[in-house]
Amino acid sequence: MSAVHTHSRPPLAWLRAPGSLTRHLVRVCPGSLVVEVLGEGWAKADPVSARLLGLRTGAQVWRREVRLSCRHAGAWTHYVHAITLGSPAAQRRLGLARLGQRPLGLLLFRRGGRRIKFAILTPGRSGPRWARRSLFLLRGHRLLVWEAFLEGLPSFRR
């Protein structure tokens, strides 16, 4: 994994980027944006995630962990490490297990998902990196998305 944003200057434009992060990443990647699935399956909800998802602590959630990277001229640059959590009903009804290497943003923003809560997480609170946590509502289901911004991320462009 590449180094992470641990310095005092946060990637504020990325942390506050509206809409689809995937769309913004495609714009700055001079090659192909690649979704590498690091893992997916059932996990137990921690207290914060459970509260945001409207579940009890320890309830089963679908957990998908990915890294979004740019492949260009035979080299890889890692941009974002992301984790998505959803209830069993969300996993079934939204087809989360069938995403494969497609970005979650395709599902969220093409099907009318909307962000209902948002937080910027500083290093220490989110591990060693700057991150953001968003709670989305899509077709009556909540999805919690945590996105950590890696050191290889270029400057934000609209």
- Residues of 6-34 as b/e, b for ≥16 C-beta within 10 angstroms? eeeebbeebbebeebbbebbeebbeeebb
- The one-letter amino acid code at 13 reads A
Q: What is the pLDDT at residue 127?
A: 76
Measured distance CA(134)–CA(69) in Å, rounded: 20
Q: What is the model's pTM?
A: 0.90
Q: What is the mean pLDDT of the chain?
A: 91
Q: What is the pLDDT at residue 55?
A: 97
Which element (helix H / strand E) includes 28? helix 21-28
Homologous superfamily of 12-149 in CATH? Chorismate lyase-like (3.40.1410.10)
Residue boundaries of the structural domains of the chain = 12-149
